């Protein structure tokens, strides 16, 4: 299906940056609405930057209006919120849910967002449990088409330094062949390509994509 207009949340992140590159290069896409808190520095004739207050639930609905597909690669780290789990949840849970609700209100054809391998609402791990809660909440909205991407460790250079993650990026690829495919490190650029390719299929209902499916659909 030809996708004419999309909305992107999280364009300044690792996957989001690659998503933007793929979307700009895609001839099927005429307009990319990039939603940010601050002015966006990337300039392209396809891009329309909309600056909103992410803490205001009413800010989201107009941002996705007329979009065929909405992409979200939103997330934070414990260090950025000083270990405050309540603040962490505001970013990871609240923002994604508000985006999904806006998709519902505007009859967006497909909502594609990044979760995490191991996401499980019953997990004892705060991060994985939260990702599971996000998925469950969004699925309960019964959007026309929802695509959930569950990558494990992302390979790629971030703008900000995450020391522990950087060490893992250097070490983990050497052991990846001994790991279950679901937990293998994956290039963020491949996740981005897969998200765009899959979004064009507009498959009704919801589907979760792990390592093997992401790799296959990135070709």
- Chain centroid, CA 185 distance in Å: 17
Q: Is 106 helix (H, G, I), strand (E, B) or coil?
A: coil
Question: Could you tell me the pTM of the whole model?
Answer: 0.88
Distance in angstroms (rounded) separating the CA atoms of residues 213 and 140: 23
Q: How many Cβ atoms are within 10 Å of 181's Cβ, its own excluded?
A: 15
Q: How many Cβ atoms are within 10 Å of 147's Cβ, its own excluded?
A: 24
For residues 198-203, average pLDDT: 90
CB 149 within 8 A of CB 209: yes
The per-residue pLDDT for range 90-148, each reduced to its tens digit, is 788 899 999 999 999 999 999 999 999 999 999 999 989 999 999 999 999 999 999 99
Q: Is 197 helix (H, G, I), strand (E, B) or coil?
A: helix
- Chain centroid, CA 166 distance in Å: 20
For residues 172-195, average pLDDT: 75
As assigned by CATH, the class of the 5-217 domain is alpha beta
């Amino acid at each position: 299906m030809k996708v004419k207009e999309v909305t992107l949340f999280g364009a300044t992140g690792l996957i989001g940056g690659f998503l933007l590159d793929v979307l700009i290069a895609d001839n099927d896409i005429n307009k990319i609405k990039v939603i940010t808190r601050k002015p966006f520095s990337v300039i392209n004739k396809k891009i329309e930057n909309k600056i909103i207050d992410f803490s205001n639930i009413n800010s989201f609905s107009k941002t996705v209006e007329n979009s065929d597909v909405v992409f979200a690669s939103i997330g934070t780290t414990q260090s950025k919120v000083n270990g405050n789990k309540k603040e962490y949840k505001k970013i990871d849970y609240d923002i994604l849910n508000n985006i999904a609700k806006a998709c519902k209100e505007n009859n967006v054809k497909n909502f594609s967002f990044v979760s995490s391998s191991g996401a499980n609402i019953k997990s004892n791990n705060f991060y994985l449990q939260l990702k599971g809660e996000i998925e469950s909440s969004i699925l309960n909205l019964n959007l026309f088409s929802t695509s959930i991407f569950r990558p494990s460790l992302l390979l790629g250079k971030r703008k900000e330094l995450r020391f522990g993650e950087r060490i893992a990026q250097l070490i983990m690829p050497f052991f990846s062949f001994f790991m279950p495919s679901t937990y293998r490190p994956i290039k963020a650029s491949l996740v981005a390509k897969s998200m765009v390719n899959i979004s064009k299929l507009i498959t009704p209902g919801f589907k979760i994509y792990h390592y093997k499916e992401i790799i296959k659909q990135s070709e």
